[in-house]
Structure 1
Amino acid sequence: MAGTETHYILPRPEFDAPVKLLIVVAPYYKDIADDLIAGAKAEIEAAGATWDLVEVPGALEVPSAIGIADRLSNFDGYVALGCVIRGETTHYETVCNDSSRGLTLLGLQGLCIGNGILTVENREQAVVRADPAEQNKGGGAAAAALHLIALGRKWGNTRKPVGFGSGDTYKLADRGDGGTGA
């Protein structure tokens, strides 16, 4: 039974430079979303970081909003929040799988994302998971994003250019062959 288990929680990371996160929430179930947000805000502020908040229509739009924010803004990390409760159709599986897949793909590209999109069987499970005084999954998602940011800073730039771009240090004239490749 999950309620009787104990889990190890990593110590909160510390930062030498300011950290700014974007909380992206799908408030379809407003009361649950509000609890997730409260937990995330508290964790972010406890780490000395700042946050902005945007709302999107549903869980499927959360990865897209994070992708847009990453291209057009300057956040260090992202907290994805929302809730998907199983219904009578297969739409549940689509939303759960595709929102998770989208966030994973963004993470594999180097974005620091904490996934706090709840995928539950019923409202009661969602309420317990969202409540900051209970399982506090919003706070856990924020903590995950903060830990990924700390790792990225520890290891240097989390983004390395791919292909030929303005950031490339290798130029044809540097090869010593006059650019002929011979």
Structure 2
Amino acid sequence: MAASETHNILETPTFDTPTKVLIVVAPYYNDVTDELVVGAKAEIEAAGATWDLIEVPGALEVPTAIAIADRTSNFDGFVALGCVIRGETTHYDTVCNDSSRAITLMGLSGLCIGNGILTVETKSQAVVRAQAKGQNKGGGAAAAALHLVALSRKWSASPKDVGFHSDAIRIAGKTTGPTTA
């Protein structure tokens, strides 16, 4: 990414009700992930939300930890953080693809997850992307999770009786049309 490029960045949402976000980090390259965490925490706090942080051994464990937390806790959103640097084997491809795929599938099932697992060729690329006062990919992942939480809350507050029902029509809370006995 060229330093002269500009990007449209959405304003961070704020919340009227308590919002709790879990940051799950794989600190394999802790100098990189420490910066990702700094950016994520700042973004979450700027939205008026709170955070908890857990560490897991590697990027492949991040989605599993999120799935466990979703089943057993009360988090509104999740931030996945880590760093995978290409090595000499195909393990890089497996870790990148499988962690990303798992996070995407959980997102498609309704979880609000910001993916900040860096996948880079070199350590220097990771450092540039992680710096909270630079590209701030940790803050970007937290912002993504917060936007999804806000969107989820917006749509979950909508009445469920909106839309076309092919077998019945709702009028003033009563159903008319075909019924089964």
Give TM-score, length-normalised by structure 1: 0.86
Amino acid at match of 1:25: V
Deviation at 1:4, TM superposition (A): 1.9
1:138-166 Cα distance to aligned partner (Å, 9 max, x none): 00000000000000011016xx9xxxxxx
1:91-136 Cα distance to aligned partner (Å, 9 max, x none): 0000000000000000001000000000000000000100001100
1:45-70 Cα distance to aligned partner (Å, 9 max, x none): 01100000000000000000000000
Q: Which residue of 1 aligns with 2:94?
A: 94
Question: Structure 1 residue 132 and structure 2 residue 136: aligned?
Answer: no
Give the whole-Å Cα distance in 2 for the aligned partners of 1:106 and 1:156: 18
Deviation at 1:3, TM superposition (A): 2.2
Give the whole-Å Cα distance in 1 for the aligned partners of 2:2 and 2:68: 36
Deviation at 1:2, TM superposition (A): 2.7
Give the whole-Å Cα distance in 1 for the aligned partners of 2:67 and 2:108: 12
Give the whole-Å Cα distance in 2 for the aligned partners of 1:133 and 1:94: 30
Question: Structure 1 residue 68 and structure 2 residue 76: aligned?
Answer: no
Give SS of 2:116's match.
Answer: strand
Q: Which residue of 1 aligns with 2:3?
A: 3
Q: Which residue of 1 aligns with 2:40?
A: 40
The root-mean-square deviation of aligned C-alpha atoms, in Å, is 1.6
Give SS of 1:82's match.
Answer: strand
Give the whole-Å Cα distance in 2 for the aligned partners of 1:55 and 1:138: 15
Q: Which residue of 1 aligns with 2:51?
A: 51
Deviation at 1:12, TM superposition (A): 1.1
Amino acid at match of 2:5: E
Deviation at 1:176, TM superposition (A): 5.9
Count of residue correspondences: 162
Give the whole-Å Cα distance in 2 for the aligned partners of 1:77 and 1:136: 19
Give TM-score, length-normalised by structure 2: 0.86
Q: Which residue of 2 aligns with 1:152?
A: 152
Give SS of 2:53's match.
Answer: strand
Gaps of 5+ in 1: 161-174, 178-182
